[in-house]
Chain A
């Protein structure tokens, strides 16, 4: 099983390995599942209450399908761990956090200081996403009203 290098949750990690989506939807009742790029995250929606870990695989850092998969799960109310696995780079961490990831298991370990700086950089954002941060338009109109 893949240990996350970074984890932004207080609950205890799931200690069993994640299984593939096909096995999971065939009737398994484990709490951890892995989605490959190109698999439809919406197939998990009937099972969200029983899931505690979803791993989303990034096969290449240029492949952004996992970003949509993460948001789809968060928008459906999934509250368990959402872990980005594979080709995860320092400069993608902030966007991944915004899409709802709260754990990262990069194939190549990240420089801890660079990762911390990258995550701290963007204090304000232009659009709504899955992180609950109020976008600039909300700040503007809260200030005016």
Chain B
């Protein structure tokens, strides 16, 4: 894992002092709320329906045990005893006092953490493949690239008042587990014909009210030009992105309106100019960062046989583990989606338990996924049973990864001031309805995603089943869409038709799964069946 040196530490310490000063000036009236708003947002502090919400950055979703433990302690000390893991691989606390926010940042700084640029119209936390450094199918670990981008983008003076927020994702595998092409910039590390590593740049993806899949604008940016190329992409956006309409201000609109070719031409011209400015960190800096992400000391003698035993354990192994690159190891995922629970929530005790498990079973490392679960990336297969037993004791052993119960949901109208409808109760009712293991297993892989408004924080466009909450004449109404996907086969869902009440949407989801089970051929997943048979049979079942 990356570790701060004196410079990194000085940056977060300075930030704590700066935000303490800004908060003091806000509290004594020297800064107006209007002027304070972008300052607090650039530090992840939102004013929600009931209180301030603080979003803490977890760069590329990677955490040490000590960092995880502190997140649990913050939940106890400053919040109501729980935290909420987000689709940006971050964590949010929903009940924060403004006067205490600087103290939380000071606590975070003691374990090399911060809340820098977790909100606001700036470059946000860089996300990455949650299985980075562990996945069997990886070309290279994307996190050193993400860390290089993190440092470059932190307090970038030119890009602190962009037209809108800006999100990067970096992957290093052919399999896309980070919804890379649904980001403002998605970077895939690739190898060229000469065997060198470089970056494929996909620019202008996003969800929100106008979802778009990012086009490829450069298939191979050499590694020692990554920062310069990123700067060129951002400069063109900062200068020409729309500022007249908040809903047309994301880079996807600029790329769409200019056309991919014209945007690319402008970026290439800016890039040629910026290459003369020597803004690129040397490869020695990349090498320094990369050294922190070296493999942990895997035991070459670790037994490779999957342990046998309790059927509930075997079911969890099948659902919640993935192939590891090292013999004798597995990637284990802790689901934060118990039936009837709030997706992504964990209590302070659970967070501390996960910190202990990361330390004891996974080389002191954990990951947050964009699907709001926690990964223990490097677990010996021989330890899986002991790990599972501890998860059972902590109510963390739900075996439902990528199944219909593994729902992504935004905070919705229960917390969020932008929401039109509640997301959490819908997620709770659906996960309860499909809680029976037999039923869940019959349905298999089915990614269900719920957003409480058009901003799409719950990624509903990319759900095999997507649910969007809207306000219809003062009543919550839910639109259903089918056929979205966030992976390498990225696609956007199609709306089935008129929306539903809260009861109606739960019934409609059930009907959709029944059509799938009746029509499925062989090993088809829900998405495969939908793509083969199309919308009509589903429509007929739910409206007919």
Q: Which residues of B contact A92 (CB under 8 A)?
A: 160-161
Q: Which of A90-108 contact B (CB under 8 A)?
A: 91-92, 94-96, 98-99
Closest residue of chain B to A108, judged by CB? B35
Q: Which residues of A contact B155 (CB under 8 A)?
A: 95, 122, 125-126
B158 touches A126 (CB 8 A): no
Q: Which residues of A contact B22 (CB under 8 A)?
A: 91
Closest residue of chain B to A141, judged by CB? B284
A44 to chain B, nearest CB (A): 14
B14 touches A122 (CB 8 A): yes
A63 touches B161 (CB 8 A): yes
B7 touches A98 (CB 8 A): no
Let me know if A79 is at the binding interface, CB within 8 A. no
Which of A4-12, A17-25, A26-34, A64-72 makes up part of the contact surface? A64-72
Which of B271-279, B337-345, B371-379, B499-507 makes up part of the contact surface? B271-279
B273 touches which of A75, A128, A144 (Cβ 8 Å): A75
Let me know if A3 is at the binding interface, CB within 8 A. no
A72 to chain B, nearest CB (A): 8
A124 touches B10 (CB 8 A): yes
Q: Which residues of B contact A49 (CB under 8 A)?
A: none
Please indicate which of the listed interface residues B11, B151, B157, B277 has the most CB atoms of chain A within 10 Å of its own CB: B157
Let me know if B494 is at the binding interface, CB within 8 A. no
B161 touches A121 (CB 8 A): no
Given contacts A67-B160, A121-B17, contact A137 B239 (CB under 8 A): no
Per-residue CB proximity of B272-310 to A under 8 Å, as 1/0?
Answer: 010001110110110010000000000000000000000
Let me know if B121 is at the binding interface, CB within 8 A. yes
Q: How far is the CA of A69 from the CA of B155 in the complex (A)?
A: 18
Let me know if B531 is at the binding interface, CB within 8 A. no
Let me know if A14 is at the binding interface, CB within 8 A. no
Task: Give the size of the chain A interface in residues (CB under 8 angstroms).
Answer: 37
B249 to chain A, nearest CB (A): 11
Q: Which residues of B contact A62 (CB under 8 A)?
A: 38, 121, 161
A121 touches B14 (CB 8 A): yes
B11 touches which of A68, A124, A144 (Cβ 8 Å): A124
Let me know if A112 is at the binding interface, CB within 8 A. no
Q: Which residues of A contact B156 (CB under 8 A)?
A: 126-127
B187 to chain A, nearest CB (A): 18
Q: How far is the CA of A75 from the CA of B235 in the complex (A)?
A: 13
Q: How far is the CA of A79 from the CA of B417 in the complex (A)?
A: 47
B157 touches which of A123, A129, A140 (Cβ 8 Å): A129
Please indicate which of the listed interface residues A94, A129, A139, A140 has the most CB atoms of chain B within 10 Å of its own CB: A140
B30 touches A111 (CB 8 A): yes
B30 touches A64 (CB 8 A): no
Q: Which of B132-158 contact A (CB under 8 A)?
A: 151-152, 154-158
B275 to chain A, nearest CB (A): 12
Q: Which residues of A contact B17 (CB under 8 A)?
A: 121
Closest residue of chain A to B36, judged by CB? A91
Given contacts A71-B158, A111-B30, A141-B284, contact A128 B238 (CB under 8 A): no
Please indicate which of the listed interface residues B14, B121, B159, B239 has the most CB atoms of chain A within 10 Å of its own CB: B239
Q: Which residues of B contact A89 (CB under 8 A)?
A: 35
A95 touches B160 (CB 8 A): yes
Let me know if B18 is at the binding interface, CB within 8 A. yes
A61 touches which of B7, B10, B161 (Cβ 8 Å): B161
Closest residue of chain A to B286, judged by CB? A137
Q: How far is the CA of A89 from the CA of B22 in the complex (A)?
A: 12
Closest residue of chain B to A126, judged by CB? B151
Q: Which residues of B contact A116 (CB under 8 A)?
A: none
Q: Which residues of A contact B284 (CB under 8 A)?
A: 141, 144
A64 touches B162 (CB 8 A): yes
B106 to chain A, nearest CB (A): 16
B277 touches A128 (CB 8 A): yes
Q: How far is the CA of A75 from the CA of B277 in the complex (A)?
A: 7
19 A-B pairs with CB atoms under 8 Å apart are A61-B35, A63-B161, A64-B158, A64-B161, A65-B239, A67-B158, A71-B158, A71-B235, A92-B161, A111-B30, A121-B17, A126-B11, A126-B156, A127-B152, A127-B279, A136-B7, A139-B7, A140-B5, A141-B285
Closest 5 CB pairs of A and B: A64-B161, A98-B157, A95-B157, A137-B281, A128-B279
Other A-B pairs beyond A127-B152, A137-B282, 15, CB < 8 Å: A63-B243, A64-B121, A64-B160, A64-B238, A65-B239, A65-B243, A68-B238, A92-B160, A94-B157, A98-B157, A111-B30, A121-B17, A127-B156, A135-B281, A137-B285
